[in-house]
Structures are given as structure tokens and as C-alpha cells.
Amino acid sequence: MSDTADVIVIGAGPAGLATATLLAGKGVHVALVDPYRLAVAHPRATHVDDETVRIMQTLGAAHLEPEFLCHTDGGYQIYDAHHQLVRYMPWRPEPTDQGWYGDYQFFQPDFENLLRGRLHASPYFASLLGWRAVSVTQTSSGVDVAVRNERTGAERTLTARFVVGCDGARSTLRGLVSPEVEDLHGTHRSLILDIAPFTTSPAVPENDAFTKAIPPNPVTCLPIAHDMVRFEFLLNPRDATEDFEVPSRWYELLAPYYAPGDYRIARADVYRWESLLATRWRDGNVFLAGDAAHQMPPHLGQGMGSGLRDAINLSWKLAAVLDGADETLLDTYQTEREPHVRVYVHAAVGAANGIEFMSENPGELGEPPEALEAQMPVPQLGSGVHGDTEWPVGALSIQPRLLGGDRLDDVVGYAFAVVGNPTLLAGVDVATAATWQRVGATVVGETPLPLRRWLNEHRAHAVIIRPDRYVFGLAASAAELDALTARLADAVGTVDHQPAGVG
């Protein structure tokens, strides 16, 4: 096994596995370092939305979707301390413009093991699972990573052009890249109990998830994949963590929902949720992604999805720079991703703090509150490769099925896409078509009805979509598409690069 790679990824959680998979699919030599040889056997994340499943599709994991628990009715309900509904977020009952349903519960170990196996089969991948990164040192030519085998004690030093730290909420790499973090003031502790019931319970809805701000420990209950149920009990500021690590307490807390002996406990952990943003996501050739870069409470189910968005944003940029694009392209990673994830962190903090406030300040039972219906935020990227964000530029593109029945991303691959009216596409300059070839863009000269409606809404006939599926720009004429393509060449370079399929 070589001690040299193009990119070293530290951490084999979802963000790290996705980054390694996307890079290997681009023909980038990647080494993955993680102290654990096996994926964690129980789920940590459970919820994925339509955009996250679209990223899974790019990763070659779409065939897992039929095994997910798909929410097509019901929703997420939040109740106050008096059992009154105050907030309701309905599940989305039809596939969205992303080509998938809006809300699922998935089984994280299946997803992680799929990516581990796919990476093992890639000629561009080097596995250092079971090895711990003990030091990271930047040099004039790249980064040296000293690693130690957890079983044998053997030591090696790996060298790469870039390192991506995906080493989770307790990241050691974050201390090197961003010693200072921004605290968004949403720190909480929760007892997480995942159970496999042997029977049904009238107290546990089949399709709905709920949070009840009942003192002294608000409870969240939601169905998750593999016919399991997750309970999260919010500890109040006076609670001692060790009191919630005792099995007798678990049975006591679950008693309103299931009788002892009517379920198998699969997981029992007290977890401390932070709400943090690293102030720097890049230091030279070292980057942060996933929970190493941002953390949030679990109430919107956007933590893991945000890590996958980091991976799909950063990986194509690293591949482009390794192919000769200017390194300033990498500066757009944080400028684009941080404003996007900040929206989710703020929303999750607001939900978590609101639940704690209702529990700590129940007041008297008064008039029934007006239940507010809420929608999941859909933020745009910050300024970056696409320039300044102005809707729909910097927003997530749609994914229609093309005339042959394939989803758009399956035809495009992990690459730029130029999609639009075939007459307009045929009318561009020779230099424009040459640029598309040099940046590895896939050209799709058809406009199925959903795409035609979307283009009409924005008074355009063509769109350039980035590899991370966000809109680079739109054009209403061949001349505008020529100008847009010239901007693309300036932003990402015009080196020869042929996209490779992933999965």
C-alpha cells in the first residue's frame, strides 16, 4: 500500500465516506483513515430529506431507498407542557422536484457499509480503517499525516496534497484548522433510547413524530427504519448525566409507551448536543467537513445531510484543483456552505431552546394556542463559484426524469450539466462547446415538461448545473450561454477532465 495519496480523509462517518467515494469516482487517489475497522452497528442519524437522498443517488446508493421508511402522511408535532399542539411540520406526501420523497427514516449502518464496500473495490482507494491519525503537519508541498494501527501499534506517515477532516463532533483536527468556534447557544443533553418493539402501542403513532415539552424531561418519539422507535429525553439543567445511564431509569421513562419486556433496547446513550460553527473551514491544504465544521441539535434531522452537502460541494473542487484549476476555487467551499448550514443550525437551535423553555416555564393552562404549520427551510448557497447568490442562482436545481425515463443525475453523473433547448445548445460558439468538454460537462439537449416549466418560470432556455446540483446560471439565448460558459471557465479553469461515474 502506497504512503502517498492525492487526498487523505480523516474520519469514516457519512461525510468522510461520501468525500472519499466522490473523490475516488473522479479518479482521485484517496486514503481513508479511521480508528475503527467496522462501521458503528446502530444508527446515529435517522432522518434524510429529498436532497440528501439525491446525494445518496450520486453516491450509488439509490437502491437502498425502497428499504427506507418513507413518510407520505402525518408529520412532526411539537406540544407544550400541557400537551397542546403548538407547531406542526407535515411530511411531504408526494415526490418533490428533487426526484424523491421529502422525508424518510433510513438505517445508517447499511448506508455506511455500502460505501465502505464500494470504496474497497475502487482502484483509487487506500483503506486505513483501524488506524488513528496522531498528527497532521503541513509542508511546502502538501500535508503529512502520522497514523498508528490501533491493534498492532505500527506507525506510518502518509503524504497527500490535501487533507479533509471529517472526524466528527469531537474533532481533533478542528483544533488545528479553527481553534475558535462560534457558539450559537443551543447546548443540550439527551438520553437516546432506540428500541425494537415486540408489540404496538397506542401511545406511539405509526406515522407521526412528536416532541412533548413535558417537565421535567421533554420527550421526542419517532419511528425509524427497521421497525424501530427512537426516544430522546431532554435532560434539564439540574439533571446529573449518570442518573440517566442506569437501566432502571430507561424502563421508567419508557413505561408510558411500552411495558418492560415488550421491546429490545438497541441503544442507550446520553449525548451532549452542541450548536457550533467553526470560524475557519480551511487552513492551507487542510479542510473541515461534517460535524467537525458544524454541529446542531437533532430536531430538524439535518445534521448528517449537512455533512453530505459539504462532501458533494468540496469534492468536485478538490478534483478540479488536482487537475490544474486555481486553488482559489477552494476558498468558495466555506463562503458557499457556511451561510447554507447556518440556516439549519439556527432553526434547530430555535426548536431545541423553545422546547426547553416550554418545559422549564409551563405556566398555567390557558386558551388553546394556535398551532403554527412550519416548513423545512430550503436555504441557498452563499456567494462563490456562481458569483453572488440571486435566486435561482445558488439554489438547488430540480431533478426531472428525462424523456427516456432516467433521472437527470443518473445521466449527468458527478459533473457539470448543461441542460436546455437543443436548438439553443446547438447555436453556441465553438469555444463554448470546447469549454464544456474541457470541464467534463454533460450536455443534455432536452426539456421534459417539469424542466420546461421551471425554465419558463425563470425566463430561460438553458441552465448550467454544478456537480453538487446547485444552479450555476441560466441563459435565455445562445449569446447568454456563451457568456455564462466563459464565466464557468474563469471560475473552475479549462483543464481537460473527463467525469467518471460514481457507484
Please list the pLDDT of the chain residue by residue as tens digits (503 residues).
Answer: 679 999 999 999 999 999 999 999 999 999 999 999 999 999 999 999 999 999 999 999 999 999 999 988 899 999 999 999 999 999 999 999 999 999 999 999 999 999 999 999 999 999 999 999 999 999 998 999 999 999 999 999 999 999 999 999 999 999 999 999 999 999 999 999 999 999 999 999 988 999 999 999 999 999 999 999 999 999 999 999 999 999 999 999 999 999 999 999 999 999 999 999 999 999 999 999 999 999 999 988 999 999 999 999 999 999 999 999 999 999 999 999 999 999 999 999 999 999 999 999 998 888 878 878 888 899 999 999 998 878 899 999 999 999 999 999 999 999 999 999 999 999 999 999 999 999 999 999 999 999 999 999 999 999 999 999 999 999 999 999 999 999 999 988 755 544 333 33
* C-alpha torsion angle, residues 425, 430, 433, 435 (rounded to 10): -140
The CA distances from residue 472 to 208, 386, 392, 411, in Å, are 37, 5, 9, 18
Whether the Cβ atoms of residue 189 and residue 269 lie closer than 8 Å to each other: no
Identify residue 314 by its one-letter amino acid code. L
φ, ψ dihedrals at 37, nearest 5°: -75, -30
Q: Could you say which of 373, 391, 422 is where a domain stops?
A: 373
The CA distances from residue 266 to 34, 67, 196, 225, 269, in Å, are 24, 19, 7, 13, 10
Rounded distance, CA 292 to CA 51, Å?
21
Q: Could you say which of 354, 373, 392 is where a domain stops?
A: 373
Rounded distance, CA 428 to CA 485, Å?
10
Considering the domain boundaries, does residue 427 fall inside one? yes
Whether the Cβ atoms of residue 344 and residue 49 lie closer than 8 Å to each other: no
285 and 352 assigned to the same domain: yes
Considering the domain boundaries, does residue 496 fall inside one? yes
Strand 4-10, strand 155-165: pairing? parallel
Q: Which three cell numbers stand for residue 186?
A: 443551543
428 and 503 assigned to the same domain: yes
Q: Strands of 294-295's sheet, edge to edge?
A: 181-183, 276-278, 294-295
401 and 503 assigned to the same domain: yes
365 and 433 assigned to the same domain: no
Q: Which three cell numbers stand for residue 395?
A: 439554489
The CA distances from residue 168 to 134, 165, 273, 465, in Å, are 15, 8, 12, 30
Considering the domain boundaries, does residue 119 fall inside one? yes
Q: Could you say which of 373, 392, 414 is where a domain stops?
A: 373
The residues, any chain, with a CB within 8 Å of residue 345's CB and separated by 6 or more, are 184, 186, 275, 277, 294, 295, 296
280 and 387 assigned to the same domain: no
Rounded distance, CA 62 to CA 106, Å?
12
362 and 393 assigned to the same domain: no
pTM for this model (two decimals): 0.95
CATH of the domain at 420: 3.40.30.120
The CA distances from residue 329 to 45, 403, 417, 444, in Å, are 31, 34, 18, 26
With cell 508541498, the residue in question is 141
In the three-class reduction of DSSP (H, G, I as helix; E, B as strand; rest coil), residue 335 is classed as helix
Q: For the chain, how are helix, strand and coil distributed in percent, rounded to 5? A: 30, 30, 40
27 and 146 assigned to the same domain: yes
318 and 429 assigned to the same domain: no
Nearest residue to 355 (alpha-carbon basis) of 229, 186, 105:
186
Domain count across the chain: 2
Rounded distance, CA 319 to CA 357, Å?
46
Considering the domain boundaries, does residue 248 fall inside one? no
Domain with 169 in it: 4-183+276-373
497 and 401 assigned to the same domain: yes
The residues, any chain, with a CB within 8 Å of residue 251's CB and separated by 6 or more, are 260
CATH of the domain at 166: 3.50.50.60
Per-residue burial over 206-244, b if 16 or more Cβ lie within 10 Å, else e, is: eebbbbbbbeebbbbbbbbbeebbbbbbbbeeebeeeeb
368 and 394 assigned to the same domain: no
Considering the domain boundaries, does residue 192 fall inside one? no
Question: What string of H, E and C letters represents the secondary structure of 360-409?
Answer: HCCCCCCCCCCCEECCCCCCCCCCECCECCECCECCECCCCECCCCCEHH
491 and 395 assigned to the same domain: yes
Whether the Cβ atoms of residue 163 and residue 169 lie closer than 8 Å to each other: no
502: Cα separation from own chain's centroid: 17
Considering the domain boundaries, does residue 484 fall inside one? yes
Considering the domain boundaries, does residue 241 fall inside one? no
Residue 277 sits at the vertex; the CA angle it makes with 273 and 78, to the nearest 5 degrees, is 45
Considering the domain boundaries, does residue 209 fall inside one? no
Whether the Cβ atoms of residue 299 and residue 220 lie closer than 8 Å to each other: yes
- Residue 499: what pLDDT? 39
Rounded distance, CA 241 to CA 355, Å?
19
176 and 302 assigned to the same domain: yes
In the three-class reduction of DSSP (H, G, I as helix; E, B as strand; rest coil), residue 262 is classed as coil
- Residue 227: what pLDDT? 93
